[in-house]
Amino acid sequence: MILSGKIKVGLAEDNLEFCHILKEFLESNQDLQVVGVANDGLQTLEMVRTTNMDLLLLDMIMPKLDGIAVLERIKKMNNKPRIIILSAFGREEMARKAVNLGADYFIVKPFDLQILAQRIREVCGLKPETYVKYPKQKINKEAEIEQEITGILQNLKIPPHYKGYAYLRRAILHCVREPVLINEVTKRLYPKIAEEFNSTPNRVERSMRFAIETAWNKGEIEYLHQLMGYTIDERKGKPTNVSFIAKISDRIRLDYKLRS
């Protein structure tokens, strides 16, 4: 329980813009202090080892080590912080596994930032009357876009624990931000994702392919046709990695009226 002073929070989130939003919001609260920021799983473990914190906000999908792998390693440490999982998908089995590995709370994106601050205080043992309430603040367009990408992949029934799920999610987000990447998939996009996840371009390509084939084989053909239109090769019955990423990123850009 936090008896006095500020709640020291460690932040583990690979989306740099969203990470900045979270940090800025948390530090706008007089009783919360961000004492460390990490953008991948290995950085998160190092931050937990070297930083005195009361609570860790942990994104479930990160490069190098995902949230589950981080939880497994933190569980073996002494002086473990409280942990709140930030997840773009709310599957019951994933939440149960996280709690079994030591997570104290599981919150699904997108969420109200004020609710997050309230949960931080509750997990750290503060009663409602002991903290000041602040005006509501919503997650911005960047986080909404990430949530939409996640929703599409979930609707396609691609299992979140597949490496291809994380690679596709990241690739689509990169192409929403920088559409020219879709014309440089092998030269820039695959190597970029491989570096972020400590993998290789060939493994990234194969994992994406397997994830797309899994979506097709699970019978979500109608939904895929709605997404892909005429970009699907009817002889093979499956969209290519490039057409899959391009079509979804283009759709999201149009939805949010983003400029190239």
The residue-averaged pLDDT of 112-133 equals 73
Question: What is the H or E stretch that residue 132 is in?
Answer: none
Provide the pLDDT for residue 36: 96
Q: How many beta carbons lie within 10 A of that of residue 166, not counting itself?
A: 25
Provide the pLDDT for residue 136: 42
What pTM, to 2 d.p., does this model score?
A: 0.59
pLDDT above 70 covers a percentage of the chain that reads 81
Enter the tokens of residue 147: 């949530």
pLDDT in tens, 178-230: 889 999 999 999 999 998 888 899 999 999 999 888 877 775 566 666 666 64
Q: Which of the pair, 242 or 256, is modelled with greater confidence?
A: 242
The residue-averaged pLDDT of 14-40 equals 89
| Biggest CA-to-CA distance, the chain | 66
What is the sign of the dihedral through the CA atoms of 19, 121, 53 and 94?
negative
Q: Cα 158 vs. chain centroid, distance in angstroms?
A: 15
Q: Cα 65 vs. chain centroid, distance in angstroms?
A: 12
The answer to whether the CB of 216 falls within 8 A of the CB of 224 is yes
* Dist CA 36 CA 10 (whole Å): 5
Provide the pLDDT for residue 133: 42
Q: Would you say residue 142 has pLDDT above 80? A: no
Nearest CA-CA partner of 21 in 106, 173, 134, 142: 142
* Dist CA 81 CA 97 (whole Å): 18
Provide the pLDDT for residue 88: 74
The answer to whether the CB of 112 falls within 8 A of the CB of 86 is no
Task: Indicate the Cα dihedral angle 207, 160, 196, 107, nearest 10°.
Answer: 180
One of 3.40.50.2300, 3.30.1780.10, 3.10.180.10, 3.40.50.720 is the CATH number of 7-130, namely 3.40.50.2300
Q: What dotted CATH number matches 141-255?
A: 1.10.10.10
Domain ranges for the chain = 7-130, 141-255
pLDDT above 90 covers a percentage of the chain that reads 33
Task: Indicate the Cα dihedral angle 149, 47, 49, 121, nearest 10°.
Answer: -70
The residue-averaged pLDDT of 16-29 equals 86
Q: Which of the pair, 23 or 1, is modelled with greater confidence?
A: 23
Q: Would you say residue 131 has pLDDT above 50? A: no
* Dist CA 33 CA 103 (whole Å): 20
Q: What is the mean pLDDT of the chain?
A: 82
Reported confidence tier of residue 35, pLDDT bands at 50, 70, 90: very high
